[in-house]
Amino acid sequence: MGVSCGLLRALLPRATIPLGWFLDIFRSVPLLIQFVLFNSLKSIVGLDWSAFTVGCVVLGVYVAAFCTEIVRSGVLSVPQNLRLASRSLGMTYWQDLRYVVMPLATRVAFPGWLNLSLSAMKDTALVMWIGIIELLRASQAIVTRIQEPLLVLCIAGLIYYLISLVVSRLGAQVEKRWQQND
């Protein structure tokens, strides 16, 4: 979703200004407030969604809003000259996009995108406010049971760290492989 919004924003900047405004809302309002607001809204409108669905939708839109900007900056980083060159070889607009713009934009956007994924993963901790048991919530439950807050929170932190470590290591590998070519 973020990738397609980002492409739209980069390729049709004028036509998608309203989309930009819409996504700005999700980028600017704190995620916690979005969760609580959307959860109440859901009840008012009468949607029968589980807390998990709500969590996914809100987090999804929130991440997509940031992803849009990351992708947009990637696409805009591709020099106009290269696009002229590929078009001059007879490639169509879409071929240029697929074989020249996208691969180059990905390299620029990737570190930012990885960063976003990591922070999104940690933002999942906020869904407990709408009643989902996630890692932090679960550790608090354990804390009340065994009365060892430091130990339990350290373990919870360690779990977050390990998940992040795997993701960021994989990302670093990918970047390194790309850089060998430059």
Q: State the nearest-atom distance from the C-beta of 130 to other proteins, in Å.
A: 43
**What torsion do the CA atoms of 61, 67, 68, 73 make, to the nearest 10 degrees?**
170
Query: CA–CA separation, 172 vs 78, rounded Å?
Result: 22
Give the residue with the Cβ less far from other proteins, 103 or 157. Answer: 103
Query: CA–CA separation, 7 vs 64, rounded Å?
Result: 12
* Binding segment (CB under 8 A) for other proteins, from list 4-12, 23-31, 82-90, 163-171: 82-90
Q: State the nearest-atom distance from the C-beta of 105 to other proteins, in Å.
A: 10
Check residue 89 for interaction with other proteins (CB under 8 A): yes
Q: Could you say which of 46, 48, 144, 182 contacts other proteins (CB under 8 A)? A: 182
Query: CA–CA separation, 109 vs 112, rounded Å?
Result: 6
Residues 106-135 that bind other proteins (CB under 8 A): 107
Binding mask 61-80 for other proteins (x = CB under 8 A): ------------------x-
Q: State the nearest-atom distance from the C-beta of 91 to other proteins, in Å.
A: 6
Contact indicator for 78, 101 with CB cutoff of 8 Å: yes
Give the residue with the Cβ less far from other proteins, 5 or 101. Answer: 101
Give the residue with the Cβ less far from other proteins, 8 or 105. Answer: 105
62 CB contacts (<8 Å, ≥6 apart)? 26, 27, 31, 34, 120, 123
Question: For 38-55, b where at least 16 C-beta lie within 10 A, e where not — what string?
Answer: bbeebeeeeeeeebeebb
Nearest to 104 by CA among 2, 10, 1: 10
Q: Could you say which of 61, 104, 120, 142 contacts other proteins (CB under 8 A)? A: 104
Q: Contact residues for other proteins (CB under 8 A)?
A: 79, 81-82, 84-92, 95, 99-100, 103-104, 107, 178, 181-182
